[in-house]
Structure 1
Amino acid sequence: MSTEPERIAGVRAFNRLYTRVIGVLDEGLVGSDYSLSEARVLYELAQQDVHDVPELRKRLDLDAGYASRLLAKLEGQGLLARERSESDARRQTVRLTELGRKTQATLEQSTDAQIGELLGDLTDSDQRRLLAAMGTITRLLGGHRSDPTLVLRPLRAGDYGWVVQRHGELYAREYGFDAGFEGLVAGIVAEYVAAEGSARQAGWIAELDGEPVGSVFCVQGGAADTAKLRLLLVEPSARGHGVGKRLVAECVEFARRSGYRSMELWTQSILTAARAIYRQAGFQLERSEEHHSWGKGLVSEVWRRPL
């Protein structure tokens, strides 16, 4: 697949900025008499008591000859000790000495202080945006964790706009919905905000490793004893991690605790993944109706479950 020139230019511009920022942080390591490579070795050794040398080289992506010289230098400074493996005399292990642990701790504190200063120039909101962007880059270019941390939290300032934006973008891209759908979502969110403080409604944002990846709302339905599940969303990057299942379960449990006797939701027949989650959560299809909305011919569905 070809890549547009302006996208390549954008990546190169980011590379130049990133190199400057990392250069500032690396200067602290150089100023402490340790190169970045030496600091990386000390950091990795601090994560567990003993390392197999070949495995250490692989983790740090170091050439065998360079790694040998690097370890010899640190050993000569009394920071680490190399020994023959107890399980295989042909292999070598390495561990930090007491001096090595103290030195690595000092480097760690210095690095934390430098990063703290860097983040200190940003507002709390900008810090969150920066960390979310870093998380996105890590996932897309650095591999995927098999066990990312999933957290559900209440909505806060800025989340409402995110919910509207992501619904508009995702449904346009995946189902071809026009701007009318985003307007519908904006209206639902506006109604929710207008009723802020009501004990009978709640909303949640799902985060994976600190980045928002999903949403769901619980509001009162047409009848006083009926709750309505609304605006379930799961980012494509988060699918397969049980995010939708957790959001729906949280919504149902809130409705039950709030005294509702049943729960309903309105969806579209083409949303197969969401429908599977609803069915698994105990919802049953009650009725369906053909309609033309958001530039598409669709079949709407009402699902319900007792509480």
Structure 2
Amino acid sequence: MTIQDIRSFNRFYTNVIGALDYSRQLYAPYTLTEARVLYELAHSPRTDAADLRVELSLDAGYLSRILAKFEQDGLIERVPSEKDTRRRHVTLTPHGREAADLLDERSQEAVGSLLATVPAGERPRLVEAMRTIRDVLSDGRAPRGEDVVLREPGPGDLGWIVQRNAALYAAEHGFNTDYEGLVARIVADFAEDHDPHLERVWIAELDGRAVGCVMCVRDEAPGAARLRLLLVEPDARGLGIGDRLVRACIEFARGVGYREMVLWTNDVLTSARKIYQRHGFVLLAEKPHRSFGVDLVGQDWRLDLHGAQD
């Protein structure tokens, strides 16, 4: 591989990305850099201005002007960091979240249009080539929690939720296919009939592959949201992904006006229960039962969304 080869590839790839961004006005009414800042604010736990500057390699003055524009447009709020008052903590407002979601939706559509021109049989090779480039240029760096992106599900992701839940719970807890049937029904109900303003699914993505998920849906009780199907792949545990997924679920539910969040789990899921406890969920009841081919103790948990916040 020569320097000229790399420069040639760079010109080609820049043209491809440029066509995606501008022919579809992907980032309008924002510039490409402004859209990158919005994306980071929506998906990264590092929301101090200093961290944004390092992550995006932006000049401090340039970033400050972008954030000032966002604040004037009602997209963000800036407050002193609780850990270091010299830092400014930046969060999206509901209006800012809508703008970020719209950009994400347009990005999904643009990439989908690009993939539509690639024969189905060639797509795995394309993805593997992209992953190879990232692996080689990352110099073997171990993944970190900030490398994980939380996004909405794309085509095939809901099926992935069913498949990975079935496989992992069978391998780790001995669940039979009854559990796969339950998950399939939950996912099918969401896919066929959900209110996008009140119900949502998050996929955690690391290095281009799904490594976790969670779901927020309406509960039968008035004013209550239900957290369902929290999952993190074994090789991605320890990066704080479960915490981020649960926090995203809680913040969404609180933001759209639910007064409480409930969930049902089993006592064998010790790691998940610790996450729920850290976020303020309170155990309401326990009941032994036999389901999915094993003896379990079911647990009902509740979080008051009007109480103490994370």
Which bracket does the TM-score occupy, shorter chain normalised?
0.5 to 0.7
Q: Gaps (5+ residues) in structure 2?
A: 17-114, 306-310
SS in 1 for 2:295: strand
Distance in 2 (alpha carbons) for counterparts of 1:129 and 1:183: 30
Q: 1:112 to 1:212 in 2, by over 3 A?
A: same
Q: 1:258 to 1:168 in 2, by over 3 A?
A: same
Deviation at 1:297, TM superposition (A): 0.3
Distance in 1 (alpha carbons) for counterparts of 2:263 and 2:211: 21
SS in 2 for 1:241: coil
For residues 285-300 of structure 1, the aligned pairs below 5 Å read 285-300=283-298
Which of 77, 84, 107 is the equivalent residue of 2:5? 107
Which of 165, 180, 188 is the equivalent residue of 2:163? 165
2:271 matched to 1:273?
yes
Letter of the aligned partner of 1:107 in structure 2? Answer: D
Distance in 2 (alpha carbons) for counterparts of 1:145 and 1:217: 24
2:212 matched to 1:214?
yes
Q: Could you tell me the percent identity over the aligned residues? A: 43
Provide Cα deviations, 1:124-166, integer angstroms capped at 9, x if missing partner: 964675368759998xxx6733566111001122111000000
Distance in 2 (alpha carbons) for counterparts of 1:173 and 1:246: 24
Q: Are 1:132 and 1:211, in contact at CA under 8 Å, matched by a contact in 2?
A: no
TM-score, with structure 1 as normaliser? 0.59
Q: Are 1:262 and 1:305, in contact at CA under 8 Å, matched by a contact in 2?
A: yes
Deviation at 1:211, TM superposition (A): 1.4
2:246 matched to 1:248?
yes
SS in 2 for 1:253: helix
Q: 1:302 to 1:290 in 2, by over 3 A?
A: same
SS in 1 for 2:242: helix
- Aligned residues between the structures: 202
Deviation at 1:210, TM superposition (A): 2.0
Deviation at 1:288, TM superposition (A): 0.7
Q: Are 1:148 and 1:208, in contact at CA under 8 Å, matched by a contact in 2?
A: no
Deviation at 1:110, TM superposition (A): 2.6
Q: 1:146 to 1:156 in 2, by over 3 A?
A: closer
**Structure number with bigger Rg:** 1
Letter of the aligned partner of 1:110 in structure 2? Answer: S
- Cα RMSD of the aligned pairs, angstroms, is 3.0
For residues 200-239 of structure 1, the aligned pairs below 5 Å read 200-239=198-237
For residues 173-212 of structure 1, the aligned pairs below 5 Å read 173-212=171-210
Tell me what 1:130 maps to. 128
Letter of the aligned partner of 1:247 in structure 2? Answer: L
Tell me what 2:280 maps to. 282
For residues 24-43 of structure 1, the aligned pairs below 5 Å read 36=1, 39=2
TM-score, with structure 2 as normaliser? 0.58
Distance in 2 (alpha carbons) for counterparts of 1:136 and 1:236: 22
Tell me what 1:263 maps to. 261
Q: 1:177 to 1:135 in 2, by over 3 A?
A: farther
Tell me what 2:41 maps to. none
Q: 1:128 to 1:191 in 2, by over 3 A?
A: farther
Tell me what 1:154 maps to. 152
Distance in 1 (alpha carbons) for counterparts of 2:163 and 2:134: 17
SS in 2 for 1:110: helix
Deviation at 1:208, TM superposition (A): 1.3
